[in-house]
Amino acid sequence: MSGISKRTFIASSLALAAAARPLDGLARQSDRKLGYAILGLGYYATQIIMPRFAECEHSRLAALVSGTPEKLKKYGEQYGVPESARYSYEAFDKIAENPDVDIVYVITPNSLHRTFTERAARAGKHVVCEKPMATSSADCEAMIAACKKAGRKLMIGYRSRFQAHNIEAIKLIRDGAIGPVRTVVTDHGFTIGDPKQWRLNRALAGGGSLMDIGIYSLNAARYLTGEEPVAVNAMESTDRSDPRFKEVEDIINFQLLFPSGATANCVSAYSANCNRYRVTGPKGWIEIDPATSYQGQAMRTQLNRQTGPREPAPQPKNQFSAQLDHLSECILTNREPIVGGEEGLKDLRLIEAIYRAAREGRTVRV
């Protein structure tokens, strides 16, 4: 099995199968949907995630947590969340007394991920944490340890792993449709606006475009190859006279080398609009553009010397409801999420290596 070890291939195949297979008897016997508390009521939480509970089979919205009383009132009334299940950040620990809450979904600025994950675990709740998992690998390790100590599951919000086009790309690669992966090219960026937003505050975000949108390029390179990088190079380009980039980086181009000899060329940017990847092998290529957006993915392939658009195999749920239900299913069947805490930790260790490579102008072995 050229390029990818047999062990890696089997592990990846089993993980994909676990994500797709139906619930076992334990879940079928449970009529109760598991209750989520949404912690942080910004745009992504209120406009993207919360409406998707209506499509879930095993998950429901049970509680809200916010530092803004007006948001708690507005969305509590909109979604029928009782006042007793609306928590301020200060009163969050009382969620331990709410048996309707099984899972806390942490959707806050990055620097707050660790503290709320640890508090949720201490409260006896399972956790979904948005990506990046934290602002340092040390924080990621502490989050994993806290959930293990509490006997709770931890999942990271890598929603693209539940999106039909990305699922199809992974399956095609694992089935050998393009042969051994040789190159990945993946670009992710958008034009960021207000200089005062938290994403441009290093203390809150932990970094710039790489921590925010570039992580999609990084994670895609890993799940497309099915390998972990052994070396990284990087180069940064940031206009420090731009008020948006006083504290964080704009563009980082980085390269990854994998054990098989495959390479990935990746872009992360806050001043360019891009969202795509192409993965190539000796037998063809797979391209998705846009690749990891909220909607509108489009796939093209060159397989068996035929080039053209390709529709992925239908999936029973969209990426958001599938992600929400995945953790519920894992809890009900005592399985581990396909994007658990270790996945987030691996990305943070690589992000730290990429920053170091750009800062020191040299290849960093990982």
Same domain, 213 and 196: yes
Query: Average pLDDT of 159-185?
Result: 98
CA–CA gap between residue 339 and residue 322 (Å, rounded)? 13
Contact 177, 283 (CB under 8 A): yes
Residue 30 pLDDT grade (very low, low, confident, very high; cuts 50, 70, 90) = low
Query: Average pLDDT of 193-209?
Result: 98
Same domain, 201 and 93: no
Residue 29 pLDDT grade (very low, low, confident, very high; cuts 50, 70, 90) = very low
For all residues of the chain together, what is the average pLDDT?
A: 93
Same domain, 218 and 356: yes
Contact 286, 220 (CB under 8 A): no
Same domain, 44 and 122: yes
Same domain, 24 and 171: no
Residue 19 lies in a domain: yes
Same domain, 201 and 237: yes
Same domain, 88 and 193: no
Residue 322 lies in a domain: no
Same domain, 22 and 90: yes
Tokens of 85: 């299940």
The CATH number for 192's domain is 3.30.360.10
Residue 330 lies in a domain: no
Instruction: Locate the DSSP E strands across 116-182.
Output: 126-129, 154-156
Query: Average pLDDT of 237-243?
Result: 98
Q: Domain of 241? A: 163-315+342-365
Domain end (from 112, 128, 159): 159
Domain end (from 99, 134, 159): 159
**pLDDT at position 15, please?**
46
**pLDDT at position 246, please?**
98
Helix, strand, coil percent values for the chain (each to nearest 5)? 40, 25, 35
Listed range (10-14, 77-81, 238-242, 288-292) with the worst mean pLDDT: 10-14
Q: For the segment 307-338, what is each residue's pLDDT rounded down to a tens digit?
A: 999 999 999 999 999 999 999 999 999 999 99
Share of the chain above pLDDT 70, in %: 92
Question: Catalytic amino acids?
Answer: 131, 216
Same domain, 12 and 150: yes
Q: For the segment 216-225, what is each residue's pLDDT rounded down to a tens digit?
A: 999 999 999 9
Q: For the segment 82-129, what is each residue's pLDDT rounded down to a tens digit?
A: 999 999 999 999 999 999 999 999 999 999 999 999 999 999 999 999
Same domain, 282 and 205: yes
Domain end (from 138, 159, 180): 159
Residue 337 lies in a domain: no
